[in-house]
Amino acid sequence: MKNNIFILLFNLGIILFIFPFSLFAHNGERAVALPVSKITIDGESRDWPSHLNKYGITRNNIENENDFSAFFQVGYNLEEQSLYVIVEVIDDEHILSSEMDVKLFGQDAHWLFLDVKHERKGSGVAFYALSENSLNLMFGKNGWDKDIREENLNKIDHAVHRDGNTTTYEWQIFLGDELYVNRTIGIDHQIVDLDNDGYSLKSWGIFGGKSSISNNLGDLFILGEDAKEMGTLEGTAQLEAPFSDTVPYGLELVNMDYPDMWTQFPLLRKKEYGLNLPQGRYRIKSALIGNVTNKDLYLSSRGDKGIEVEVVNGKITTAPKYDVKAQKAPPFFSAKQGILPNFKANDTLKVDKFFKEVIHHYTIPGLQLALIKDGEVVYLKNYGDANAYETERVTEDALFDAGSVTKPVFALLVMKLVEEGVIDLDYPLYKYLPYDDIAHDTTYHQLTARHSLTHRTGFPNWRNGKLNFLNPPGTFGYSGEGFVYLSKVVEKLTEENIESLLSKYIIKPLGIKDTYFSTNKALMEKLTFGHDDKYTNALRITETPNMAYSMHTNAKEFSKFIISLMNRDLLAKNTYDKMFAKQVDIPENWSEANTDWKQGFGLGYQLKYSPLGFAYGHSGRNGGYDCSFEVYDDAGVAYVFFTNSSNGFRIKNIVREFLISGNKK
């Protein structure tokens, strides 16, 4: 049952940024809180009413699903303005830490996630970790909501008791004026189980990243004493023609008499839905406001009034079929030639109009743009919000997660070391540094730096547990794992850490500022918040540098790197020629092959052969952020944009058309 620490961190949301996907609707779990009284917080369940529902915490992230079991109950007391939660875990092993500073997975624990404000725009999540010897508020300072950043433990009373093979976690949370009947709050649970052979985790609702985005929690209905019976709502939802074969991501139901009582749920590729709800009138509509399902189609609840239904306790209500609005993207521009090759000062109005319309249409909170021509930045502009929840504007010095745009920066460093004779592109990496993570398969002895830089190691992008080969070495398959191994080799050969090398060979020589590869105070003060559709995410944690994804920068500073590439001024000319020479063709079905131009990969750079001539660049996508840069050598132009949105990758084609190739439709 041992689980890799990487997977557990994923479920926490700490490294959610590594994976290119978004979570769009609440996790679909719903619970009911009814009035309780005379509850003593002592870790005992004997004073809890017998009529309260028990909700299983059963979502497994472990191989042995019978390793332990858990459930929770929940109630409230209006006079005390308090929410009560009790969790029982049945587990033959119970391990506690004797250390003063207990690590996150250092002992058995109950994690409680609460979104008390439960605003539909995505309010903050408080994350509490409780064990027998400690209660901690986790990651609050990284929250997008000021109330969570200022949260403390003064409102919490708690107790933990172990009896035989059962551990009981009991909570009293003072909610004050936020506690009232006929509303919902966000809630979720995870149980951490530390055994002699590793860690495991169980959750109440699906989806990881519970502390990172409020939309990944379940919904708790605060109901009156008379609401012990529920009604059932059934129905069908699908996109309007001609997209009816595509399933909407999720629906939102809002009580029309009590608008603070609302819930969302994912459809998970199903058009039919069914759920239990308190009696009342509800409005059903799409949970999204602008997420795209392909390059032309987007879903929109803007201006959509949805449909109305009435749920009756003890009965089944069938809702009318709901056709979710599906629209093609509007024509943002009509010019048959891109604006950048012949860019003039008065073109800035057209650029501003285009980007403002695009980020609104695709629900992208913030964007930074730099346009480069003949080795100079000719236009630099910031658009939108750094934090959509608190409407903080993007400024010139705001920083963005650059994701995989880290890779070409690291590739340039490697090529500099090739010039200096430190590393050979075609020498087996294992002879420089054996790699314990893949030592069980000597196939890795074939791997070279060239394999890593051209995504031909055969590794997966990221491992799911133990690192294994996905394909034979030499086969194209995009992989961050290959860059991780190569960076370890570089540190071994130079006897320097990777950040020092980047600073010495690239950052300082080019005068680049405010560009970081691991967490520090300056970064956290300027970093924009990522967003999934309309929901703001917690700031991501990148404690150590990773050459596949960990760079944070902005358009102004990264433009210095792009101009250096255009000027060929850090390496010898023939080294640039080698770096930009095609090493492998990109398959047409690869997700990033988003143009009909011929494409390939050089050494760390994606290559394009466009009507304007040779081009190179890279894109980056970490959960909640997306960016791209492209350099058109023969035309002498380049651009870079950074977004703080998972929807950012949706605009890459339209931006390229507007700036470079023109509207060909």
Q: What is the pTM of this model?
A: 0.89
Give me the pLDDT at residue 533, please: 78
Q: Which fold has domain 231-328?
A: Immunoglobulin-like (2.60.40)
Mean pLDDT of 233-258: 81
pLDDT > 90? residue 35: yes
Among 40-54, 228-242, 521-535, the minimum mean pLDDT is found in 228-242
Core vs surface per residue 37-68: b (16+ CB within 10 A) or e? eebebebebeeeeeebeebebebebbeeeebb
Give me the pLDDT at residue 592, please: 66
Write the CATH number of the domain with boundaries 331-665.
3.40.710.10
pLDDT confidence tier of residue 664, bands split at 50, 70 and 90: confident
Domain ranges of the chain: 5-222, 231-328, 331-665
For 64-85, write each residue's pLDDT tens digit: 556 789 999 999 999 999 999 9
pLDDT > 60? residue 567: yes
CB 184 within 8 A of CB 220: yes
Considering only CA atoms, which of 304, 339, 340 is closest in space to residue 324?
304
CB atoms within 10 A of CB 430: 18
Report how far residue 390's alpha carbon sits from residue 392's, in angstroms, rounded to the nearest whole number. 6
Report how far residue 141's alpha carbon sits from residue 352's, in angstroms, rounded to the nearest whole number. 34
- Please list, in sequence order, all residues whose beta carbon lies within 8 angstroms of the beta carbon of residue 566, skipping any fewer than 6 positions away: 372, 375, 631, 633, 636, 638
Sheet of strand 280-286, all strands in order from the earlier edge strand to the far edge:
262-266, 250-255, 280-286, 307-311
Residue type, 480: G
- H/E stretch holding 408 reads helix 406-419
Q: Using only C-alpha atoms, what is the Rg of the chain?
A: 26
pLDDT > 70? residue 96: yes
Task: Compute the half-sphere exposure of residue 306: CA atoms within 13 Å on the CB side of its CA.
Answer: 21
Question: Which residues does residue 639 pair with via DSSP β-bridges, in sequence order?
Answer: 371, 630
Core vs surface per residue 462-481: b (16+ CB within 10 A) or e? bbeeebebeeebeebbbbbb
Domains 5-222 and 231-328 share a fold: yes
pLDDT > 70? residue 391: yes
For 426-446, write each residue's pLDDT tens digit: 999 999 999 999 999 999 999
CB 284 within 8 A of CB 251: yes
CB 410 within 8 A of CB 499: no
% helix / strand / coil in the chain, to the nearest 5?
Answer: 20, 30, 45
User: Which phi and psi angles does 540 have, rounded to 5°?
Assistant: -80, 155
In this structure, CATH architecture of domain 5-222: Sandwich (2.60)
